[in-house]
Amino acid sequence: MDLDSKIRKIPNFPKPGILFYDVTTLFEDPLSFRYVVDKMCEPYLYQQVDKVVGIDARGFLLASTVAYKLNAGVSIVRKKGKLPFRTRQATYEKEYGPDIIEMHEDTIKPGERVIIVDDLLATGGTMLATVDLVKQLGGEILGIEFIINLSFLPGLKLLKNQGLNVHYLIDYNNESVTQADLVSNQITKPAKEIVIGIIGGTGLDDPKILTDYKEIEVTTPYGEPSSKLIIGKIGNKKVVILARHGRAHSLLPSKVPYRANVWALKEQGVTHILATTACGSLREEFRPGDLVFVNQFVDHTKHRPVTFHDEKVIHTPMAEPFCKDLREILCSTAAKLNLNYHNFGTIITIEGPRFSTKAESYMFQSWGIDVINMSTVPEVVLAREAGLPYQAIAMVTDYDCWKQTEAPVTWQLIVKRMNKNAENVKKLFLEAIPAINFDTCDCMDVAGEVKV
């Protein structure tokens, strides 16, 4: 996401010699604003957050939206004289003069877990004063979030010297307005050709989304893959499609040759994998037809090889199993296309081919799981071993069997809803794949990488 182009730079404001970074133009763009809020929430998705503190005035907009997504309350920091109840005060120096900020003395309760958000970090005076106020009130600061860091000013160093966890999305290292490429996926000159592998689930292995395509048969040290490979292009990107369950959907989830599939894609030069899958929802808000760009999985399979390494012990890091860079591109594209989507979620893969009992469905809900399928594991694990960034696109087809007002899931229902909504995923691929331009990420740097 190119945030720099959305931020207006105004010289000599509010006084001569100051370059003002105006984020209101970024807030006016719905795609960019949503991206910023999602990124600020990301470090705290699996933590309890009680309060989000917003600093006067643009921090209010950020704090409100972040708090909504994290199911937290909002506390506000205002300039002197703006709050009606009893307050605590702190004086600080900004880059263009002194100021005083206040918080209501009861806005944060002792022991509450807090994050603080603001638009820009410069000298750090405002934030340091806010940190002091939060600590006075007994709050525990989990982290601090900014859109912009001015690294030529001392704010970041001062905050880190206090042991604070600080994140920001864009960095300017001097007053000439240059963007450090800290978060952007737009690497303009990749060192190697980007080749996208699509592992197609039900209804989503259609070769017609490609231009100039051809089919080839391959074999691997792990046998033949599920189907012939279809090779063509989407935009300027080479794409290789593989049908996970075979072109006639003849392979049971437990019988899919997952190792052969991932090996075959890597052997054809694939650098990134997008994998579609039907899933059931375990949450009311994850509705049939929604897309879920999952970020975590739980493995509930029983009979599948989960590694390429049969002869030696390799412990593969899996803390973040899906590719955040691919996920960001997919989220941005889905927002642009006005698709209903969720930018994170935990998926559980069961062995199948049967569906869940109600007892199992309720148990999975109690575990905090969002969606359920039969195919993501071990595919995602093997992709990580092969050093291939992997992101699953899970399409919700049903409510499993937990929802009393819905009929339990059937195969016929899944096929009907997947066929109805497959066009949305095809549109997503046509828009998103040409935007995949990064050739380095954490997914590619793993212990025991498989060499083809």
Structure tokens at 345: 């979620």
SS3 state at 323: coil
Distance CA 12, CA 18 (A): 5
Contacts of the segment 13-17: beta carbons below 8 A, 24+ positions apart = 14/96, 15/96
Structure tokens at 176: 């000439």
Burial (0-12, 13-18, 19+ Cβ within 10 Å), 299? middle
Asked whether the predicted pLDDT for residue 182 surpasses 50, the reply is no
Q: Which of 50, 56, 370, 400 is catalytic?
A: 400
For the chain, the average pLDDT equals: 89
Asked whether the predicted pLDDT for residue 8 surpasses 80, the reply is yes
pLDDT at residue 46, rounded to an integer: 85
Q: Which of 2, 212, 398, 442 is catalytic?
A: 398
Distance CA 429, CA 20 (A): 38
Which of the four pLDDT bands, split at 50, 70 and 90, describes residue 96? low
| Residue 99 annotated to the active site | no
pLDDT: which is higher, 179 or 322: 322
Model confidence over 230-289: pLDDT tens digits? Answer: 999 999 899 999 999 998 888 999 999 999 999 999 999 999 999 999 999 999 999 999
Which of the four pLDDT bands, split at 50, 70 and 90, describes residue 452? low
Distance CA 83, CA 60 (A): 14
Burial (0-12, 13-18, 19+ Cβ within 10 Å), 223? exposed
Model confidence over 399-436: pLDDT tens digits? Answer: 999 988 887 778 777 777 777 778 899 999 999 999 99
Which of the four pLDDT bands, split at 50, 70 and 90, describes residue 312? confident
Which of the four pLDDT bands, split at 50, 70 and 90, describes residue 310? confident
The rounded radius of gyration (Å) of the Cα atoms in the chain is 24
Which of the four pLDDT bands, split at 50, 70 and 90, describes residue 205? low
Asked whether the predicted pLDDT for residue 202 surpasses 60, the reply is no
Domains in the chain, please, with CATH? Answer: 4-172 (3.40.50.2020), 195-444 (3.40.50.1580)
Which DSSP string corresponds to 22-40?
Answer: ETHHHHTSHHHHHHHHHHH
Asked whether the predicted pLDDT for residue 186 surpasses 70, the reply is no
> Phi and psi (nearest 5°) for 444?
-85, -10
pLDDT at residue 415, rounded to an integer: 75
Asked whether the predicted pLDDT for residue 376 surpasses 70, the reply is yes
For residue 208, count other CB atoms closer than 10 A to its CB: 9
Q: How far is CA 200 from the centre of its chain?
A: 21
Range with lowest mean pLDDT among 202-211, 299-308, 362-371: 202-211
* % the chain with pLDDT above 90: 69
